[in-house]
A and B are shown apart, each in its own frame.
Chain A
Amino acid sequence: MKYAAPTTIDEARALLASDADAIVFAGATDVVPQMRGGRPEPSMLIDLKNIDRLMSVSLEGDTWHVGAAAPSSALTANADFAADFPGVTEAAGLIGSDQIQNRSSLGGNLCNASPAADSVPALVVNDAVAVIAGAGGERRVPVADVVTGPGQTSLAHDEIVVCFELERPAARTSDAYLRLIPRTEMDIAVVGAGVRLTLDGEGAVSAATVALGAVAPTVVRVPAAEAALVGSRLDDASLAAAAAAASEACNPIDDKRGTITYRRQVAGVLTRRAAGMAADRIRTTNGQNGAS
């Protein structure tokens, strides 16, 4: 098994293209435990952490660029990013322990393609775009379209996720992410729920996005829950309708981490609670958050 540490995207891509059995990694917080657990060793491990663009977090105009290999702790420590995307920040901050936080990354969390990845629902509700470098240059793909199934992505072998682009939220817009784990940390989501809301001047919901994790092979957007929220003032009936829609949208499995019944019910509960949190965030900032 070889180890390579390229400093440019082109170099990394060339290495990847040269070896059908090579894989890229950022923090290696998934790949190392997987290898210990019996995953066949790749012929080459390509470390992406020496490529500046993959490690940087920056605001250019109204667009945040989050390097695919930037550690979670770089996001949770970034007050400006956290103010714009509290839900993405809390999702990134839930991955692993403090030590893991210094290694884990949004790119790794996405490309590992676990149905339970915490950051993916949070990125999806914010319409995040993955910038992917490949043979024909760069392409931009909605995060929701990257993962195609458990452990499967739409990336070609020689493609690398470079960064994520997130447009600063509109006025009176905020997000939240909640997950259910039996413990308080160091665990994997039984259910995850991301919600982004925009409130109008009257306090009614003018836009909503809802996405669920760990309840289907890939992240589930829930248009019916979004529809139940839009136009409402987050009254009990609307929240209950959104919760019911979320439960209905689940396509979960029975496994060691939870039953179908349990996941359905909790998906609704978390959707309702995350919507409440997002709304509270908008109200507590008096509608001053957001780009304009």
Chain B
Amino acid sequence: MSTTEAPASTGTNGNGASGYRWVGTRPVRHDGLDKVAGKARYAADLNLPGMLHGHILRSPHPHARIVSIDTTKAAAMPGVKAVITGADFPEAPPKGATRNLMCTVIARDKVLYSGHAVAAVAASTRREAKAAAEAIEVTYEQLPHVLNIADAMADGAPVIHDNLLTRGVDPRPTEPSNVAARTVYERGDVEQGFGEADIVIEREFSTQAVHQGYIEPHACVVDCDQEGKAVIWASSQGHFMVRSSTATVLGWDTSRIKVIPAEIGGGFGGKTTIYIEPVAALLSTKAGRPVKIVMSREDVFRATGPAPGSIIKMKVGARNDGTITTAKAWLAYENGAFQGIAAMLGCMCVVSAYTLDHLYVEGFDVVLNRPVNVAYRAPSAPAAAFAMDSVVDEIAARLGMDPIDLRLHNCPSQGDPTPYGPKWPMIGLRDCLEAIRDSDHYQTALPDGQGRGVATGFWFNIGEASSATVNLNENGTATVITGSPDIGGSRASMALMAAEELGLDVHLIQPVVGDTEVVGFTDVTEGSRATFATGMAVVEACRDLKTQLRKRAAKTWDCDVEEVEWVDGSAVHGPGEQEPLTLAAITGNAKRTGGPLGATASLNARGAGPAFSVQVADVSVDSETGRVTVERYTTAQDAGTAIHPSYVEGQMQGGVVQGIGWALNEEYIYSDDGNLENPGFLDYRIPVASDLPMIETVIVEVPNPSHPYGVRGVGEVGIVPPLPVLANAVADATGVRISDLPLSPPRVLDALTAAES
């Protein structure tokens, strides 16, 4: 194992082979030195004069009615400047996304999970705030709770929301239940398909809820002035989202709020929502002082973003020639305390890597007494792939086919229908399958005693709204301002695309993440969209600037702008009567040719390119202890065009590592009374570096025709295949197929022991 070697991509990306000068190169990231040197400012680093510390009191019960809250004692304690409860916030509507957000930030009539915010205190010191919060007297009337899908869906289960009527059932039920929605996708006739199949395999799978595991807990500082304006410094995946969500929860006009993005210490989807900003804002308003709230790790585990657990029943039919014809899937996903769309997404993903004549996919979104789901890299897709690609692996074994060949035989291409409706655009699944088949790893014989698994993964990727402003400075440098927080190297990618467009050395470009008042609206960073959509805005602004630069040259030369071309960072006179003018020459003279040069682009990015990944792992299994060791791991992923290959590889590796954790050891462990027993990194086991081999990467580049440089987005799909990859590898190593995650030592040993007897 070596984690210090430079990642060696063996993909199709060859620097410069694409004809680009900057796109596809690997400069040191612009924000790198500050981060390595510890100078980067995260939200928790900020301290303002007179600042108070906020502490949030959380429910010790998974489900209870709040009978009363008495803050008298707390308010009188030393250092306390403000105490608030749910009653201080605007009333929430009876249902819908707004209610869910408002009631996640602070409980109203009921607490819906252990860890649910109930009240908050601002005091001069953290210790005083904590002591006062603990002195708040809350009287609860405990209610029966449900912690898993089976209990929540059972007849007579305690109902969490008395107005929740299942959507997607005709006729719509009149009685409430914990099933928020039913989703169905179908094509052909599955009964006919199974009847005509030579081989039918049916299995049931389960996965456990996991946390995104970002290293930086949620943190914010909020300063409200006497005119009712608020400045928020926060760590998030989108500061415009922080602005609008905070405004919604507080019932404020968004124009009262300015959000300044802090550096972000990881999010992986978990920071696409808010928890603490409105609480700090209200405390600050009440106290007349800035308020900082920093969550503890325990708070993060108890009250923020799990990705859901699931139960999936999968039935797949194939012919003897390896053609998979039919699939029937039943999926149920935990939603947490409020309804979401986890099962719907799972339904859309579950068979996406396969062409099928007949399919029937039915999904159920289930609410229970856990924190509400939030996105985690390719949300819902990993569990779905675990079910489908485990069954496909069994089919390959039964037919004696190579698992890659089987998948190639059933691989969709451009123009084929997706399971959820539209036709596939240009996609790179086949290219990824071939890349793994041809990889050194797959071509190397499996060492004795080990097992090998392969699997595929799909994720949609999305576009949404982005803005960018590019200003040319008088010395010939450029400043690129975008509204996307830099969560995965996006500053470097933005600078590279601007460098390519302008023909300017990437080191002369300063990429900046602008606050909500200096750059145009930009949606939250999700769906692997920043390099795709925000990059598109950067390119559009740069193209506008190139037109302006040509006009300035034309003005200088007193010629028609059509006679001026922009070549390698200079204006070139077509007829050849003038010496070229460099960008620096034009910007240095800008005051005399019409003033400073800058351009802004705001757009809704269309045509996000779907992402696929194919992965292979070799594992060994200690048959006496059940410990699984990942010996070798290779991932191929279609990046579209890799703008900065190092950060593409980093995203690929990061996704794989989080998937390995999900597959092997990560899980929420709840006690029967509904409290989380492992709210810390000691007993919630994300992989450590020494658990992992070097994750080998193969960047596949099937350019997305909708993006000026062919970008697809790379942040998410890498986490999808590891669940089935490792289950398939363990099955290959031991001959025992395990369909319940995680593959932790006790569970694996249990399965091996059961198989023996």
Nearest Cβ on chain B to A277's Cβ, whole angstroms:
15
Interface residues of B in 599-646 (CB under 8 A from A): 624-627
Q: Contact at A183–B665, with CB atoms within 8 Å? A: yes
Binding site for B on A (CB under 8 A): 36-37, 180, 182-188, 190, 256-259, 262, 265-266, 269
Given contacts A37-B298, A256-B677, contact A182 B744 (CB under 8 A): yes
Closest-by-CB residue of A relative to B130 is A38
Given contacts A37-B298, A187-B682, A262-B746, contact A182 B627 (CB under 8 A): yes
B189 within 8 A of A: no
The CA-CA distance from A92 to B624 in the complex, in Å, is: 25
A258 proximity list for chain B (CB < 8 A): 746
B226 within 8 A of A: no
Q: Contact at A36–B665, with CB atoms within 8 Å? A: no
B677 proximity list for chain A (CB < 8 A): 256
Given contacts A182-B745, A184-B688, contact A256 B678 (CB under 8 A): yes
B750 proximity list for chain A (CB < 8 A): 262
A188 proximity list for chain B (CB < 8 A): 682-683
Q: Contact at A180–B688, with CB atoms within 8 Å? A: no
Given contacts A256-B669, A262-B746, A265-B749, contact A186 B624 (CB under 8 A): no
The CA-CA distance from A265 to B746 in the complex, in Å, is: 10
Contact indicator per residue, chain B 257-287, by CB within 8 Å of chain A (1) or not (0): 0000000000000000000000000000000
Q: Contact at B624–A269, with CB atoms within 8 Å? A: yes
Nearest Cβ on chain B to A182's Cβ, whole angstroms:
5
Report which of B298, B626, B688, B746 forms a contact with A185, defined as CB distance below 8 A.
Answer: B688
Q: Contact at A187–B690, with CB atoms within 8 Å? A: no
The CA-CA distance from A262 to B749 in the complex, in Å, is: 8
Q: Contact at B691–A183, with CB atoms within 8 Å? A: yes
The CA-CA distance from A258 to B624 in the complex, in Å, is: 15
Given contacts A257-B683, A258-B746, A262-B746, contact A182 B665 (CB under 8 A): yes
20 CB < 8 A contacts A-B: A37-B298, A180-B627, A180-B745, A183-B685, A183-B687, A184-B688, A184-B690, A186-B682, A187-B685, A190-B745, A256-B669, A256-B678, A262-B746, A262-B749, A262-B750, A265-B624, A265-B749, A266-B624, A266-B745, A266-B749
Q: Among the interface residues A183, A187, A188, A257, which one has the most CB atoms of the partner chain B within 10 A?
A: A183
The CA-CA distance from A84 to B540 in the complex, in Å, is: 70
B414 within 8 A of A: no
Q: Contact at A266–B688, with CB atoms within 8 Å? A: no
Q: Contact at B625–A269, with CB atoms within 8 Å? A: yes
The CA-CA distance from A187 to B749 in the complex, in Å, is: 19
B18 proximity list for chain A (CB < 8 A): none
Nearest Cβ on chain B to A246's Cβ, whole angstroms:
13
A262 proximity list for chain B (CB < 8 A): 626, 745-746, 749-750
B475 within 8 A of A: no
The CA-CA distance from A258 to B664 in the complex, in Å, is: 15
The CA-CA distance from A265 to B685 in the complex, in Å, is: 22
Q: Contact at A182–B685, with CB atoms within 8 Å? A: yes
B320 within 8 A of A: no
Q: Name A's interface SS.
A: loop
The CA-CA distance from A182 to B628 in the complex, in Å, is: 9
Apart from the given pairs A37-B680, A184-B691, A185-B688, 11 other A-B contacts in the complex at a CB distance below 8 Å: A36-B296, A180-B627, A182-B665, A185-B690, A186-B688, A188-B683, A262-B626, A262-B749, A262-B750, A266-B745, A269-B624
Closest-by-CB residue of A relative to B684 is A256
Given contacts A188-B682, A256-B669, A256-B683, contact A183 B688 (CB under 8 A): yes
Closest-by-CB residue of B relative to A255 is B677
Q: Among the interface residues B296, B625, B688, B750, which one has the most CB atoms of the partner chain A within 10 A?
A: B625
Binding site for A on B (CB under 8 A): 296, 298, 624-627, 664-665, 669, 677-678, 680, 682-683, 685, 687-688, 690-691, 744-746, 749-750
Nearest Cβ on chain A to B124's Cβ, whole angstroms:
17
The CA-CA distance from A142 to B677 in the complex, in Å, is: 35
The CA-CA distance from A112 to B387 in the complex, in Å, is: 44
Nearest Cβ on chain B to A284's Cβ, whole angstroms:
23
Closest-by-CB residue of A relative to B671 is A256
A187 proximity list for chain B (CB < 8 A): 682, 685
Q: Contact at B690–A259, with CB atoms within 8 Å? A: no
B669 proximity list for chain A (CB < 8 A): 256
Q: Give 9 closest A-B pairs by Cβ, nearest first.
A: A262-B746, A184-B690, A269-B624, A256-B669, A256-B677, A182-B665, A184-B691, A186-B688, A183-B691
Closest-by-CB residue of A relative to B624 is A269
The CA-CA distance from A257 to B669 in the complex, in Å, is: 10
Nearest Cβ on chain B to A139's Cβ, whole angstroms:
34
Closest-by-CB residue of A relative to B628 is A182
B682 proximity list for chain A (CB < 8 A): 186-188
The CA-CA distance from A184 to B690 in the complex, in Å, is: 6
The CA-CA distance from A36 to B626 in the complex, in Å, is: 33
B687 proximity list for chain A (CB < 8 A): 183
The CA-CA distance from A257 to B625 in the complex, in Å, is: 14
Closest-by-CB residue of A relative to B676 is A256
The CA-CA distance from A256 to B682 in the complex, in Å, is: 11
B744 proximity list for chain A (CB < 8 A): 182
The CA-CA distance from A136 to B626 in the complex, in Å, is: 50
A186 proximity list for chain B (CB < 8 A): 682, 688
Nearest Cβ on chain B to A270's Cβ, whole angstroms:
8
Nearest Cβ on chain A to B664's Cβ, whole angstroms:
8
Q: Contact at A259–B688, with CB atoms within 8 Å? A: no
A269 proximity list for chain B (CB < 8 A): 624-625
Q: Contact at A266–B625, with CB atoms within 8 Å? A: yes
The CA-CA distance from A188 to B685 in the complex, in Å, is: 11
Closest-by-CB residue of B relative to A180 is B625
A257 proximity list for chain B (CB < 8 A): 683
A183 proximity list for chain B (CB < 8 A): 665, 685, 687-688, 690-691
B688 proximity list for chain A (CB < 8 A): 183-186
The CA-CA distance from A115 to B343 in the complex, in Å, is: 42
The CA-CA distance from A256 to B690 in the complex, in Å, is: 23
The CA-CA distance from A188 to B678 in the complex, in Å, is: 13
Closest-by-CB residue of B relative to A257 is B683
The CA-CA distance from A146 to B276 in the complex, in Å, is: 46
Closest-by-CB residue of B relative to A266 is B625
The CA-CA distance from A182 to B688 in the complex, in Å, is: 11
Nearest Cβ on chain A to B560's Cβ, whole angstroms:
67
B685 proximity list for chain A (CB < 8 A): 182-183, 187
Closest-by-CB residue of A relative to B626 is A262
Nearest Cβ on chain B to A261's Cβ, whole angstroms:
8
B626 proximity list for chain A (CB < 8 A): 262
The CA-CA distance from A187 to B680 in the complex, in Å, is: 12
The CA-CA distance from A184 to B660 in the complex, in Å, is: 14
Nearest Cβ on chain A to B568's Cβ, whole angstroms:
49
B746 proximity list for chain A (CB < 8 A): 258-259, 262
A182 proximity list for chain B (CB < 8 A): 627, 664-665, 685, 744-745
The CA-CA distance from A269 to B752 in the complex, in Å, is: 15
B683 proximity list for chain A (CB < 8 A): 188, 256-257
The CA-CA distance from A209 to B687 in the complex, in Å, is: 34
Nearest Cβ on chain B to A274's Cβ, whole angstroms:
13
The CA-CA distance from A182 to B691 in the complex, in Å, is: 9
Closest-by-CB residue of A relative to B749 is A262
The CA-CA distance from A180 to B622 in the complex, in Å, is: 11
B678 proximity list for chain A (CB < 8 A): 256
The CA-CA distance from A188 to B681 in the complex, in Å, is: 11
A184 proximity list for chain B (CB < 8 A): 688, 690-691
Closest-by-CB residue of B relative to A243 is B624
B690 proximity list for chain A (CB < 8 A): 183-185
A259 proximity list for chain B (CB < 8 A): 746
Q: Among the interface residues A36, A185, A259, A265, which one has the most CB atoms of the partner chain B within 10 A?
A: A265
Nearest Cβ on chain A to B217's Cβ, whole angstroms:
12
Nearest Cβ on chain B to A21's Cβ, whole angstroms:
17
